[in-house]
Amino acid sequence: MMQFTGKVVYKGIALGPVRVWKKHDQPVRPGRITDAEAEIREVQRAGMQAKRQLLELYDRAVKEVGEADAAIFEAHRVMLEDEDYLELIYSKIRTELVNGAYAVAVTGEHFSEMFAGMEDEYMRARAADVIDVSNRLIRILEGTEEAPGDMEPSIIVADDLSPSETMQMDKEKILGFVTVRGSANSHTAILARMMNIPALVGVSLEPNQIRTGTRAVLDGFEGRVIFDPEESQCVRARERMEEEWKKRRLLEALKGKENRTRDGRIIQLYANAGSVDDIRCALENDAGGIGLFRSEFLYLGRDSFPTEEEQFRAYRQAARMMAGKKVIIRTLDIGADKQADYFRLEKEENPAMGYRAIRICLTQSEIFKTQLRALLRAAAFGNISVMYPMIISQEEVRRIGEIVKEVEAELEDDGIPYRHPEQGIMIETPAAVMISDELAELVDFFSIGTNDLTQYTLAIDRQNGKLDDFYNPRHRAVLKMIEMVVENAHRHGKWVGICGELGADPDLAETFVNMGIDELSVAPSMILKIRKAVREIGDLQINCKMAENSDQ
């Protein structure tokens, strides 16, 4: 038995086999062959199998995150057909009589180094793609490749996980996450909260010392993972899993119920979504709408800007899926921890406070206009609202308004149907908080992004795991800022919501209701938990009244 502790990013209990997620980084050893043509045919068969796998990944990714994010798998499939790449592999096998896996490894390194040395940033980024494609071929040739469909329900153990890696997993078969690196705000943590599964980060273990298939207990309440647990520990884990299952069944009974406190106050409960698949999850959890639809999923994991038509189809699909319920789409928020090479953004010393989000849109207006055209067109098909991130001034909001008018005039001239959607801004900088009274005159609503607001207020990089103990989203300064924004919005008759992680804290539900927050947007898995917390608000007032009546 081995036991390790880590930081809990989502509570829960998981019991099952471990799947150690490893990158193929072992050196490939050269081996002598006698039949070059037979070896080449093996490489060709491996290539066909790799293309079938990539097609499966592409189809799954389209369903989960849309065509834009799925494009990387299509690009990898095309790379497997590149004549120069294949010819060098075949040539090495014929002239040196080496095994196919070694020929692929050497060829992959050659092309990767060639791309990495190019001046063009886009071409340099292809270096990693060549290695990825080559490693896939090598795993098939060496018999270490595991097809996506072969994954059994497992607890994923990894050094860390990137968005592209998690995309390849069958999410229905993930029991939990255990990672060595990562913070409470890492991609793994956010995914765990979206999927409602237990997760630990910052676990001091060496993934290579754990074997795939090892049984483990992941305790997301006490922050520990036990490998090769004793039978008594497994029995206790099953008991606690049954208790959690019963609690979820009770939450299921809240579907269709109002988000009304016991003393009659109502709050809107919406869901955050980073893909079309998240919208399905939001509907399954009875969300009243989408409070934050992250449009950058259309820009990440690809090699070029999404077209107006691509974006239009994605936004229209979201609106149609919600069938008249509000869908608030945030405009492009690239920069900081979300990078796309083809934007050609320069390296910054402090990217969280750098060239990102609305700052890119206002200085590269053609990118912005393309997105706005798609948004306004999609708004004609449903209840779409648009909000703009990282606002710090009235001048920015006025400039946005001017560009929106320009786009509407262009659509009018082109004879393309559109609708002017509700316009809002994200309050996620202290500057926006302090002038929220003036900003409220220019927009239809506010949405408070508590993740960045906390980061900027406390001067803490929320991606830095070393600062987790200092990162306090409940800090009084943050709560006072939220209260100020609500007061200023309501003074001008505008509604205000919260779309950051803080909105998903059941213990703060009453605080936000008392402040007058109109809407909370949370991970789909948290909708029913927050509904339960909201419906329990007011017990104290009712009990006091009952006591007063009994005294009389």
Active-site entry in 110, 187, 490, 492 = 187
Asked if residue 469 is part of any domain, the answer here is: no
Asked if residue 454 is part of any domain, the answer here is: no
> Strand pairing partners for 272?
292
143-199 pLDDT, tens digit per residue, is 765 544 456 899 999 887 765 566 567 777 889 999 888 766 566 676 677 677 899
Q: Which positions ≥6 away from 331 have C-beta within 8 Å?
A: 295, 357, 358, 361, 368, 371, 372, 375, 386, 387, 388, 389
The H or E element that residue 466 is part of is: none
Task: Report DSSP letters for 182-247, one per residue.
Answer: --TTSHHHHHHHHHT--EEES----GGGS-TT-EEEEETTTTEEEES--HHHHHHHHHHHHHHHHH
* One domain for residues 218 and 192: yes
For residues 339-355, give the mean pLDDT. Answer: 69
Predicted confidence at residue 348, as pLDDT, reads 66
- The alpha carbon dihedral of 32, 37, 40, 42 has a sign of negative
201-225 pLDDT, tens digit per residue, is 889 888 878 888 899 999 999 999 9
The H or E element that residue 470 is part of is: none
More confident call, 310 vs 464: 310
Does the structure show a pLDDT above 50 at 235?
yes
Asked if residue 486 is part of any domain, the answer here is: no
Least confident of 18-22, 117-121, 277-281: 117-121
Predicted confidence at residue 25, as pLDDT, reads 54
Active-site entry in 76, 281, 361, 499 = 499
Asked if residue 476 is part of any domain, the answer here is: no
Q: Answer yes or no: are the C-beta atoms of 519 and 265 closer than 8 Å.
A: no
Asked if residue 388 is part of any domain, the answer here is: yes
Looking at the whole model, is its pTM more than 0.85? no
* One domain for residues 219 and 175: yes
* One domain for residues 404 and 319: yes
Burial annotation 18-32 (CB, 10 A radius, 16+ → b, else e): bbbbeebeeebeeee
Other CB atoms within a 10 A radius of the CB of residue 315 amount to 26
More confident call, 464 vs 135: 135
Q: Which of 250, 284, 301 is the last residue of a domain?
A: 250
Does the structure show a pLDDT above 90 at 535?
yes
* One domain for residues 97 and 215: no
409-457 pLDDT, tens digit per residue, is 999 999 999 999 999 999 999 999 999 999 999 999 999 999 899 999 9
Which pLDDT band holds residue 335 (cuts at 50, 70, 90)?
A: low
* One domain for residues 296 and 417: yes
Q: Answer yes or no: are the C-beta atoms of 319 and 422 closer than 8 Å.
A: no
Q: What angle separates helix 36-65 from helix 121-142, to the nearest 10 degrees? A: 120
Q: What does the alpha-carbon distance between residue 526 and residue 97 come to, in Å, rounded to a whole number?
A: 58
Q: What does the alpha-carbon distance between residue 396 and residue 381 come to, in Å, rounded to a whole number?
A: 28
Does the structure show a pLDDT above 70 at 547?
no
For residues 87-113, give the mean pLDDT. Answer: 92
Does the structure show a pLDDT above 50 at 406?
yes
27-63 pLDDT, tens digit per residue, is 788 889 999 999 999 999 999 998 888 887 777 666 6
Q: Which of 87, 122, 142 is the last residue of a domain?
A: 142
Share of the chain above pLDDT 90, in %: 52
For residue 171, the enclosing domain spans 2-22+148-250
Asked if residue 335 is part of any domain, the answer here is: yes
Q: Give the CATH number of the domain where residue 288 resides.
A: 3.20.20.60
* One domain for residues 152 and 138: no
Residue 471 to residues 185, 465, 511: CA-CA distances in angstroms? 11, 10, 20
Predicted confidence at residue 300, as pLDDT, reads 74
Least confident of 2-16, 61-75, 481-495: 61-75
Predicted confidence at residue 62, as pLDDT, reads 67
* One domain for residues 95 and 229: no
Distance from first CA to last CA of the chain, Å, rounded? 64
Whether 187 is catalytic is yes
Predicted confidence at residue 66, as pLDDT, reads 55
For residues 383-393, give the mean pLDDT. Answer: 96
Whether 499 is catalytic is yes
* One domain for residues 307 and 190: no
Q: Answer yes or no: are the C-beta atoms of 70 and 297 closer than 8 Å.
A: no
Asked if residue 214 is part of any domain, the answer here is: yes
Q: What are phi and psi of 310, to 5 degrees?
A: -60, -45
* One domain for residues 66 and 210: no
Q: What does the alpha-carbon distance between residue 504 and residue 525 come to, in Å, rounded to a whole number?
A: 10
* One domain for residues 90 and 174: no
Q: Give the CATH number of the domain where residue 13 resides.
A: 3.50.30.10
Asked if residue 45 is part of any domain, the answer here is: yes
* One domain for residues 284 and 378: yes
Q: Which of 142, 165, 181 is the last residue of a domain?
A: 142
Q: What does the alpha-carbon distance between residue 61 and residue 36 come to, in Å, rounded to a whole number?
A: 37
Max CA distance (Å), the chain: 102
Which pLDDT band holds residue 391 (cuts at 50, 70, 90)?
A: very high
The H or E element that residue 422 is part of is: strand 422-427
Which pLDDT band holds residue 1 (cuts at 50, 70, 90)?
A: confident
- How many domains is the chain built from? 3
* One domain for residues 312 and 381: yes
